[in-house]
């Protein structure tokens, strides 16, 4: 490998300056890959941990064997299990992107490397292999705008080593531009401060006792990725136990159990440093699930269980990933809560979440802690800078004035205007919790998408064409084949056996978002209107969307005349919700089919709310049931009416009349003769249809048990009165 640069010198400077080395190899990769590892090993003779990160693509195992010939201590991880390594720190990370470059996975692999460590991403060609991914390509058509931009960033950033077909391109960086993590504060707990890497972490130790103060307390800990949030909160939790007058039950939760593992691991370290006796329960793969200290306990539980537990303090790690509704729910149930979250990262942005908690005016007193200094590498690390720019992790919505106009925008011209791209993509980053670098790739590379932007970059919608499927394609879906590129037809053909729907042509609004400061002013609706006019003009049968159910978002689609046709039958645990599909039909065939399937959905929701949908927010169920079309009439016998009256007068308890309440509810939702507000209907749904206790019905609605029962009685009385049933 010939080069004009002294590669060892570059590596040495990074080691002394505690910043990361990123090498990207494109083209003929074997020789340079081994050579770069070799050069690095001359600088860092004994890297203790390296990992090889690869897709299950052909040949990746063989390539691993080459790497093992020069580097024996390498762990092999496939793309899909990468999540479990997010909290770890490695010396070396080698990313196989041959025929499969996925920005979100690559970002994960880069993040786990410490300052002075080496990251190598190698590929035959960045855009190779996308043709086989049906979310990105249609009929072999795909753009390469993301990769072209990525390459441009590789060339323009300092400190990145880009090997392109036999030539090394590097713009030098210097260790003098990086400041190393330092800890100068001893803080209130010097024996624990010693375990901290930065003063920011010591600050968390010093402030944690805020949670023990009298009353409802909310601690919000935020930072960009890799600032040691989880570790510092973990170190701090045992302090709460030592300072409390009573035994404490602390529950820790996080979207996946790997992301909570760091907190538990550091809590154990802290207990040891404090010389506390404790017992621990570990999982089969060695992660700590529970620490028992006398009568006190710190334990990790999955979000679904954690939120309804009885305990003193709830700690939510990666809280933004669980969404605002989860946070609202736990704040209604728990008096003492710590929300720990990433502001901008690869796993989704916490910006919108932060904005919400910056103006929090609930019952809890709030304390905010921000961690700024990275723990894995120095401040000024060129790789962090590069990734922020290449993946637009910090992009912000410009929030300019709304000019009342929506235009269809050509994606290529958007990618040629860096400032506009950042502000349009910034809308997605700030408005959606779960934006990841793959979304930027989707924006650039999906050749079959249409992009609509509200003028002045106030809102954006990505639309993809779906349907028009051949008989053969429909048959294969019916027999169980996935077809991610045609999501709405897929769901209606597979789950509702409505094969004819596959032939219709539609547009799916894949994403729609409005700059946070401008939401609720009609911009989203205007975007939809423009899309509908364009779509109808082009003769499509329907427009629809599939999204994670949230009350506000469903209301938005409802307001714009969309009807629900499908609700997933399993809650997506890591995203914390059910997905809903809504459509607006244009052609008569689409009108007939969507109304038929929507009626079936109503039936399913009514009959299975106690089993399939027992976990769905009852306000969402209420609104879905109201949006499906009216069905057959339901007769209620006079004896049932008498029973209901007796309940309202306090002569019979709820359990004695539950079947009559159920029938009355069924009558309401099937006939839909008049409107009743969502919260009133939600009391009926959560108690009578989902079978929740008064207590749990109350928690999900922010009411006390007796308020729920009173509201239910009022709802029954209102429905009886409207139907003139006496």
Residue 255: what are its φ and ψ, rounded to 5°?
A: -55, -40
Contact between 223 and ligand ATP by CB under 6 A: the answer reads yes
Minimal CB distance residue for ligand ACO = 524
Q: What is the dihedral of CA 661, 665, 666, 669, to 10 degrees?
A: 180
578-607 in b/e form (b: 16+ CB < 10 A) is bbbbbbbbbbeebeebbeebbbbbbebbbe
Tokens describing residue 718: 């209102």
- Considering only 151, 225, 602, 643, the residue that binds ligand ATP (CB under 6 A) is 225
Min separation Cβ 537 and ligand ACO, Å? 21
Asked if residue 317 lies in contact with residue 253, where contact means CB atoms within 8 angstroms, the answer is yes
Residue 512 annotated as binding site:
yes
Residue 513 annotated in ligand binding = yes
Q: Alpha-carbon distance 439 to 426, whole Å?
A: 12
Q: Is 645 part of any known ligand binding site?
A: no
Q: Is 67 annotated as a binding residue?
A: no
Strands 288-293 and 279-282, sheet pairing: antiparallel
Residue 227 contact partner, candidates ligand ACO, ligand ATP, none, CB within 5 to 8 A by sort of partner: ligand ATP
Structure tokens at 230: 């989880």
CA dist list (Å): 464 to 416, 467, 531: 22, 10, 11
Residue 517 contacts ligand ACO per CB under 6 A: no
Say whether residue 520 binds ligand ACO (CB under 6 A).
yes
Q: How far apart are CA 657 and CA 157, in angstroms?
A: 71
Tell me how far, at minimum, the Cβ of 401 lies from ligand ACO, in Å. 14
Which residue lies nearer to ligand ATP by CB, 86 or 251? 86
Residue in 342, 462, 550, 609 binding ligand ATP, rule: CB under 6 A: 342
**Which of ligand ATP, ligand ACO, none interacts with 375 (beta carbon under 5 to 8 A by kind)?**
ligand ATP
Comparing CB distances to ligand ATP, the nearer of 195 and 427 is 195
Nearest to 628 by CA among 592, 594, 654, 666: 594
Give least dist CB 512 to ligand ACO, A. Answer: 5
Give the shortest CB-207-to-ligand ATP separation in angstroms.
Answer: 16
Footprint of ligand ATP on 56-95 (CB under 6 A): 86-89
Helix (H) or strand (E) holding 453, with range, is strand 449-454
Binding-site partner at residue 226 among ligand ATP, ligand ACO, none, CB < 5 to 8 Å by type: ligand ATP
- Among 519, 574, 579, 705, contact with ligand ACO (rule: CB under 6 A): 519
The CA distance from 526 to 524, in Å, is 5
Q: Is 316 annotated as a binding residue?
A: no
Among candidates 239, 347, 255, which has minimal Cα distance to 300?
A: 255
The interaxial angle of helices 145-156 and 437-445, nearest 10 deg, is 120
- By rule CB under 6 A, what string of x and - marks binding of each residue 189-218 to ligand ATP? ------xxx---x-----------------
Which residue from 55, 181, 226, 698 is in contact with ligand ATP, where contact means CB under 6 A?
Answer: 226
Exactly one of 272, 559, 610, 722 binds ligand ACO (CB under 6 A); that residue is: 559
Q: Which of 157, 229, 307, 508 binds ligand ATP (CB under 6 A)?
A: 229
Q: What's the rounded Cα separation, in Å, for the pair 396 and 458?
A: 11
Distances (CA, A) of 331 to 263, 533, 602, 619, 673: 21, 42, 32, 18, 36
Element containing residue 478 per DSSP (H, E) = helix 471-478
- Within 10 A of 56 (CB to CB), how many other CB atoms are there? 10
Residue 679 makes contact with ligand ACO by CB under 6 A: no
With CB under 6 A as the contact rule, the residue among 194, 272, 497, 521 that binds ligand ACO is 521
Residues near ligand ATP, by CB under 6 A: 86-89, 195-197, 201, 223, 225-231, 262, 342, 345, 375-376
**Annotated binding site for ATP: which residue ranges?**
201, 376
Residues near ligand ACO, by CB under 6 A: 431-432, 509, 511-514, 519-525, 545, 547, 552-553, 555-556, 559
């Amino acid at each position: 490998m010939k080069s004009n640069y002294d590669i060892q010198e570059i590596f040495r400077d990074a080691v002394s300056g505690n910043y990361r080395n990123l090498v990207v190899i494109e083209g003929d990769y074997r020789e340079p890959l081994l050579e770069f590892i070799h050069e690095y090993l001359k600088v860092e003779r004994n890297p203790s941990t390296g990992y090889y990160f690869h897709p299950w693509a052909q040949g990746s195992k063989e390539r691993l064997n080459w790497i093992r010939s020069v580097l024996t201590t390498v762990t092999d991880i496939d793309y899909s299990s990468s999540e479990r390594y997010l909290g770890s720190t490695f010396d070396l990370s080698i990313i196989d992107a041959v025929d499969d470059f996925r920005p979100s996975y690559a970002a994960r692999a880069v993040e786990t490397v410490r300052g002075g460590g080496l990251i190598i991403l190698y590929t035959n060609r960045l855009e190779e292999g996308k043709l086989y991914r049906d979310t990105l390509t249609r009929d072999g058509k795909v753009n390469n705008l993301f990769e072209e931009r990525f390459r441009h960033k590789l060339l323009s950033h300092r400190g990145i080593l880009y090997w392109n077909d036999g030539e090394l391109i590097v713009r030098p960086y210097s260790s003098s531009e990086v400041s190393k993590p330092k800890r100068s504060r001893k803080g209130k707990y010097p024996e624990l401060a010693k375990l901290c890497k930065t003063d920011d972490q010591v600050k968390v130790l010093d402030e944690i006792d805020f949670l023990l103060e009298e009353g409802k307390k909310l601690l919000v800990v935020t930072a960009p990725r890799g600032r040691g949030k989880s570790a510092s909160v973990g170190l701090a939790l045992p302090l709460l136990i030592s300072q409390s007058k009573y035994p404490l039950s602390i529950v820790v939760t996080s979207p996946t159990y790997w992301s909570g593992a760091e907190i538990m691991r550091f809590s154990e370290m802290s207990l040891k440093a404090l010389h506390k006796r404790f017992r621990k329960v570990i999982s089969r793969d060695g992660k700590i699930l529970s620490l028992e200290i006398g009568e006190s306990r710190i334990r990790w539980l999955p979000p679904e269980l954690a939120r309804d537990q009885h305990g003193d303090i709830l700690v939510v790690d990666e809280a933004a990933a669980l969404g605002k509704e989860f946070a609202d729910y736990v704040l209604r149930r728990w008096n003492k809560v710590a929300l720990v979250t990433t502001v901008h990262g690869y796993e989704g942005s916490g910006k919108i979440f932060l904005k919400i908690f910056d103006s929090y005016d609930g019952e809890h007193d709030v304390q905010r802690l921000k961690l700024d200094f990275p723990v894995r590498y120095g401040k000024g690390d060129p790789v962090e800078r590069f990734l922020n720019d290449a993946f637009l992790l910090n992009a912000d919505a410009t929030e300019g004035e709304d000019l009342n106009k929506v235009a269809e925008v050509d994606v290529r011209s958007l990618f040629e205007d860096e400032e506009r791209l950042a502000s349009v993509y910034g809308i997605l980053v700030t408005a959606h919790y779960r934006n990841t670098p793959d979304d930027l790739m989707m924006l650039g590379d999906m050749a079959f998408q249409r992009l609509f932007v509200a003028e002045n970059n106030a809102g954006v919608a990505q639309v993809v064409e779906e349907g028009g499927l051949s008989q053969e394609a429909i048959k294969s879906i019916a027999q169980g084949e996935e077809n991610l590129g045609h999501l709405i037809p897929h769901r209606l053909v597979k789950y509702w056996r409505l094969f004819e729907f596959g032939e219709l042509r539609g547009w799916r609004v894949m994403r729609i978002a409005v700059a946070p400061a401008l939401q609720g002013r009609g911009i989203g609706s205007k975007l939809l209107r423009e899309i509908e006019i364009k779509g109808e003009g082009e003769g499509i049968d329907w427009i629809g969307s599939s999204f994670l159910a949230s009350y506000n978002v469903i209301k938005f689609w409802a307001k714009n005349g969309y009807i629900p046709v499908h609700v997933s039958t399993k809650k997506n645990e890591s995203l914390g919700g059910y997905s809903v599909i809504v459509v607006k039909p244009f052609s008569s065939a689409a009108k007939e089919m969507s109304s038929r399937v929507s009626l079936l959905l109503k039936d399913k929701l009514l009959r299975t709310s106690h089993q399939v949908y027992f976990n769905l927010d009852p306000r969402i169920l209420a609104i879905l049931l109201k949006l499906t079309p009216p069905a057959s009439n339901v007769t209620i016998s006079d004896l049932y009416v008498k029973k209901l009256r007796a309940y309202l007068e306090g002569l019979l308890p709820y359990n004695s009349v539950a079947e009559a309440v159920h029938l009355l509810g069924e009558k309401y939702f099937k006939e839909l003769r008049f409107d009743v507000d969502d919260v009133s209907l939600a009391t009926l749904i959560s108690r009578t249809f989902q079978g929740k206790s008064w207590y749990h019905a109350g928690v999900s609605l922010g009411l006390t048990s007796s308020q729920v029962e009173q509201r239910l009685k009022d709802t029954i009385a209102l429905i009886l009165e409207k139907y003139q049933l006496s």
